[in-house]
Structure 1
Amino acid sequence: MIAETVCSAVSAAGLGIAAVTAYRRRFLAAVRVAAYALVPVGLVMTGVVKWLADTAFSPTAWAGFGVLGLAWLLFMITRAVERRRGGTRGQRREAEAAAEHGPVAPGASRPSLGSSASRPAARPSGSSGTPAKGEDDFSDIEAILKKHGI
């Protein structure tokens, strides 16, 4: 009963503001204010306000919200643990199965992990001392990685 009265008062105040706005010849704004002012009355007439008031003062409803919150908290905890472990059991099995099949591109070259002194410099045949286009592209990257000790 109190909620319906408050909603009616808010709507009446909003319609008063809309009338003052229209009096100042701001008709578009007045119509917008009137539309907002009619929303609380519409909610009262449809019964939403009564349902919300009954829910707000119901201990059973608050217990239900508590259970929903607990369920959400448990869900978030399991997601965090799953991310920390590296995925679910099914995802780990898929990754292990993919690793057993070997590399995706078997003809691809392996990345160099050692120092430059331990591996011989590969030169394409027929070059006159200038690096090939593909080799030149990666020389800058190698220099940066060496500079940072990677």
Structure 2
Amino acid sequence: MWKFRAKKKSDQWLIETNIDDMSAEMYGYVEEKLFEAGALDVFKTPIVMKKGRPAVKLSILAKSDEIDLVETIIFKETTAIGTRKYPVVKHKLDRVYETVETDLGPVTVKFAYHKGTLVNWKLEYEMCRKIAVQTGMPLKEVYQILETEIINRKGLK
């Protein structure tokens, strides 16, 4: 029989609830409240419950000392009548943020490494958005120009 053994005790928990009787407009407000309370992540998954009822699974990633507050928000701000909790073991890539000078101005790039090898990189949205607003260029064009420039300057693929 397979058994999972975590290397260390998890300080993060996934708290979930299924909701099938709440207006979709309310989820944005609930999400804001959860983030204000310290939630690390909040996401919604469409699901189908018994009798074919469409519903939403509300999932919140939080530190162990925030579970009570998260559950209080869930019960006060939603129509949920119960939650499930699971300890979470995460594996995060090493990340390096670097400001790169480009023809459109400085941009922050997040580089992600697995065992010392670059496996992913991404332009930071807020800086790209700022350039789009300042120049009047479409955001997707800003991304295309900057990605090409970063690839050429850094020798990336």
Ranked by relative contact order (alpha carbons within 8 Å, sequence separation 6 or more), the top structure is 2
Query: TM-score, normalised to structure 1's length?
Result: 0.17
Report which of the two has the higher share of strand. Answer: 2
Mark the structure with the bigger radius of gyration: 1
